[in-house]
Amino acid sequence: MSGAGEGEAEDISTVDNYQGLQIAPNPDGTITRLAKLPESPPTSDPKLPTPVLSKDIPINESKNTWVRIYLPRHALDHSSSSKLPLVVFYHGGGFILCSAASTIFHDYCVSFATDVPVIIASVEYRLAPEHRLPAAYEDATEALHWIKTTPDDWLRDHADLSNTFLMGISAGGNIAYHAALHADVDRLHPLKIHGLILQQPFFSGSQRSGSELRLANNPEFPLSWSDLMWDLSLPIGASRDHEYCNPTVGDGCKKLDRMAVGWRVLVTGWDGDPLIDRQIEVAKMLEENGVHVVCHFAEGGYHGVDIIEASKAKALFVVVKNFIFS
């Protein structure tokens, strides 16, 4: 894996970031997504040979937000007294790409629901730059209120809403973090958040971290891609030291009180990811503010490896299972 040495100046000027991300800027501030990423339909028919059933339900049709629910088949054979934990999942894609229907995230959720096991509500949120932050956070919290009131039979009969975790990978981890900060938890009953699972969460800042410098030219996720994603996602004129991007600056710590009261936070990462120092920094900030933090940082890997390599996903599911059921 190539990259500059620790402390060396980054050399990312030759990277064509728009081409690399397969997007094109438009004069009106939107982007054209040039690559049609594979998508998978839900499978709700219990007669089909799938270990996990899934279905899509609208949340807010005016915003075109919806949720894909994943139900392990074996849950249908159990009484309502043995309900499964609920994981509200936010997909990755740097806030600008992908969908809850993207095959890579659909397959991941199927494997996750099978191995852990849990019921998953994977949220389709609005993308930037057409809908800059905090739009995704608003959609994330709206989904929580929708879940607590929905008459959906899968959630009603098989999900333990009092044992809910917010989870996301990359940008989805950032969304899970901010959804937890901004949700009015007192109004979510009977949904009760027990903790967060931040999988390679997407954070940054104006001053480069050691891993950002060291891995600036990382072939899987160069730092210039990260910068462009933030440029397209943050409010117009905001720097990477905005609280959405860098939670360690400003008043971010003042919002952590609810996490410190009973919540647990799992933060995972790989040392081949340019963002790992940011992830460690956020985990340390949470811990210093009284939050029960569990860290799982491993050697090797790269940004997104958990959803790309099945063996890495399987290993992570063991960690997450121990975290949820401990």
Query: What b/e sequence results for 157-172 when a residue is b if at least 16 CB atoms lie within 10 Å of its CB, and e otherwise?
Result: ebbbbebbbbbbbbbb
How many other CB atoms sit within 10 Å of the CB of residue 33?
A: 15
Q: What is the pLDDT of residue 293?
A: 96
Strand partners, 68: 56, 122
- Inside any domain, residue 93: yes
Position 11 in a domain? no
Query: pLDDT tens digits, residue range 58-77?
Result: 999 999 999 999 999 989 87
Read off the CATH number of the domain in which 194 is found.
3.40.50.1820
Domain total for the chain? 1
Between CA 72 and CA 113 the distance in angstroms is: 6
pLDDT in tens, 246-291: 999 876 666 677 676 789 999 999 999 999 999 999 999 999 988 9
Q: What are phi and psi of 260, to 5 degrees?
A: -75, -10
Query: Is residue 4 domain-resident?
Result: no
Q: Is 14 a residue whose pLDDT tops 80?
A: no
Our CA dihedral for 17, 22, 23, 24, rounded to 10 degrees, sits at 80
Percent of the chain scoring above 90 in pLDDT: 83
4 DSSP assignment = P
Contacts of 9 (CB under 8 A, 6+ apart): 213
- Residue 14 domain flag: no
Catalytic residues: 170, 273, 303
Residue 15, classified by CB atoms within 10 Å of its CB into exposed (0-12), middle (13-18) or buried (19+), is middle
Mean pLDDT over 319-323 rounds to: 98
The answer to whether position 167 is within a domain reads yes
Q: Is residue 28 part of a domain?
A: no
Given a contact cutoff of 8 angstroms between Cβ atoms, the answer to whether 83 and 155 are in contact is no
> Looking at the domain assignment, is residue 143 inside a domain?
yes
Q: What is the pLDDT of residue 1?
A: 31
Residue 19 maps to a domain:
no
Which residues constitute the domain of residue 297?
40-325
109, 120 contact by CB (below 8 A): yes
252-275 core/surface letters (b: 16 or more CB in 10 A; e: else): beeebeebeeebbbbbbbbbbbbb
